[in-house]
Amino acid sequence: MKPTNDCFLRALKREKTDFTPVWLMRQAGRYLPEYCETRAKAGSFMGLAKNPDYATEVTLQPIDRYGIDAAILFSDILTVPDAMGLGLDFVPGQGPVFAKPVQSEEAVNNLYVPDPNEELQYVMDAVVSIRKALDNRVPLIGFSGSPFTLACYMVEGRGSRDFRMVKEMMFRRPDLFERVLDINAKAVTAYLNAQIAAGAQAVQIFDTWGGMLADGDFQRFSLKYMKQVLDGLIRENEGDVVPSIIFTKGGGEWLEDMAATGASAVGLDWSVNMSRARALIGEKVAIQGNMDPFALFGDEVAIRNAARRVMDAFGPVGTAGHVFNLGHGINQFTPIENVQILVDEVHSYSRQFH
């Protein structure tokens, strides 16, 4: 059954729409007071993510508050390696930490593809619960980290400025690293397909760290495995196409490669010139993005101008497919009233382009 507001799905399928749909990466998050309340009840971040009722609550909060055009499953990109038994924990001030990082051949040998309907059942329960709560108002996006981005955390064991241990394995033992990536690609494929089967109406692959790879290495160690995932995805569900989005932060150099993977849309970070991106790949895929998240710290006029700059750069949309988003996750200190200004501006200003 189509959502009442299917603008987001139509844009991804490059069909005509009346306005440009908008959602925000990390839209269910700490900048929202209601999120912080639910988070406090849940006790911990993973307590929140693993409880379908709480996950449903926070997923719907930005939809209810702002009239955003798509909901995104509340979860974390690291649920998959957690389900592989690596022991995910969120340490205050440090972010995600794995108890058993993958730093030896033996550790790689022990990796396996988790059954998404076993170890990750809580995610599928959340998808079902969210779909029910959304009641077809807007579509639900499922997501996963990219095989490379998951490998970054799995090998390093935590976030890092430079992921030196990851690069060391990549340069010293590319064979070993590629085994990790292959397992991750299989795990992500199964995971996203389970989300789709449970009710996700589009999926996004977050390649948060692909941008730290050299040209050539990106294609070999990140893009190839995203394509492997895309090739294995369920194409249709509930009688409709399930569009896919790939987003590599810092991937502006590789837009044409990304557009050739078979993804429905390519997400851009804010450093990319939207006009150039459209000229390069606008005939092949929809484009998502790409306002600087910090533009939301400006005054009302500045926010409207920053949003318009993105839409002006994209130009008349027709069937090119533009999904408005930030170029990265919304910052936790964003003034909440400014998000409403942005959403309203995108909805109203974009009509002239449709």
Look up 131 and say whether it is catalytic.
no
For the window 192-211, what string marks contact with its own copies as x by the rule CB under 8 A?
A: -------------------x
* Strand duo 140-145 + 202-207: pairing: parallel
Using the rule CB under 8 A, give the single segment among 35-43, 47-55, 71-79, 245-253 that binds its own copies. Answer: 245-253
Cβ atoms of residues 160 and 168 within 8 Å: no
Candidate residues 252, 267, 282, 321; the one interacting with its own copies per rule CB under 8 A:
252
**Residue 182: beta bridge partners?**
none
Element of type H or E holding 73 = none
Look up 35 and say whether it is catalytic.
no
Rounded (10°) angle between helices 147-156 and 224-231: 120
- Residue 36 engages its own copies in binding (rule: CB under 8 A): no
Helix (H, G, I), strand (E, B), or coil: what is residue 206?
Answer: strand
Helix (H, G, I), strand (E, B), or coil: what is residue 141?
Answer: strand
Cα 234 from chain centroid?
Answer: 18
Using the rule CB under 8 A, give the single segment among 71-79, 136-144, 166-174, 228-236 that binds its own copies. Answer: 166-174
Side-chain half-sphere of 292: how many Cα atoms within 13 Å?
A: 12
- Which is catalytic among the residues 10, 26, 131, 304? 26
Q: Which two tokens stand for residue 130?
A: 């969210």
Candidate residues 29, 81, 116, 250; the one interacting with its own copies per rule CB under 8 A:
250
Segment 277 to 316, residues that bind its own copies, using CB under 8 A: 290-292, 294-295, 297-299, 302, 306, 309
Catalytic residues: 26, 30, 39, 76, 153
Interface residues toward its own copies, by CB under 8 A: 162, 164, 167-168, 170-172, 211-218, 250, 252-253, 270-274, 276, 290-292, 294-295, 297-299, 302, 306, 309, 327, 331, 333
